[in-house]
Structure 1
Amino acid sequence: MIVRIMSEGQWRLADEKLDELNKVDSELEAAVSAGDEEAFRTSFAALLDFVRSGDKLPDDELHDSDVILPPSDSSLAEMRELISGDGLIAG
């Protein structure tokens, strides 16, 4: 699975990590739904850190992304507009 973080690049995550990725995404969705700024910041940072723990792809290689995440400086209000009932990551 290829995940892009806007303005940072792309990472390859093993398909076996999808369940864990969805768990972190669900925590983010709950924080955004609750309007909890502190929980939002914590869970969004955890999601980005999880993705960054994968294999960083070279910037000069472009791959189709399975997931595109907003930049790390996104606000709670911006995230509310992006998150659907499935969070940022479908599945």
Structure 2
Amino acid sequence: MIVRIMGEGQVKLADSHFTELNKLDDELLAEMESGDESGFRRTLGALLDKVRELGDVLPDDALEPSELILPAPDATLDEVREMLSDDGLIPG
């Protein structure tokens, strides 16, 4: 799956990693719902770091369609809320 981190670029990520990423996504969703700004910041950073760690960065000139778009590391709670689906940022 091709994942775009807004403001950074694209990463190719194996589907097998989504169970691990969904745990962080669930934690992020809970922190957003409770208004835990510091927890939200920490978990968003951990989620993006994990995507970077597990994925392969695509070259800047690659024009692959992104199947999943994640917020920039400095995104606000409100900006991320606008990106959410019922499943959080990561479906499944």
Would the TM-score normalized by the shorter structure come out above 0.5? yes
Paired position in structure 1 for 2:25: 25
The equivalent of 1:38 in structure 2 is 38
Query: What is the rounded CA distance, in whole Å, between the counterparts of 1:86 and 1:58 in structure 2?
Result: 29
TM-score, normalised to structure 1's length? 0.92
**Corresponding residue for residue 71 of structure 1:** 72
Consecutive unaligned residues of structure 2, counting only runs of 5 or more, are none
- After the TM superposition, which segments of 4 or more aligned residues of structure 1 sit over 6 Å from their partners? none
- Aligned residues: CA RMSD: 1.1
Q: Answer yes or no: is the 8 Å Cα contact 1:2–1:66 preserved in 2.
A: yes
Q: Give 3-state SS (helix, strand or coil) of 1:78's partner.
A: helix
1:82: which partner in 2? 83
Identity %: 58
Give yes or no for the alignment of 1:6 onto 2:6.
yes
Residue equivalent to 1:57: 58
For residue 81 of structure 1, report the CA deviation from its aligned partner: 2.4
**How many residues get paired?**
91
TM-score by length of 2: 0.91
What is the deviation of 1:65? 1.1
Name the amino acid aligned to 2:76. Answer: S
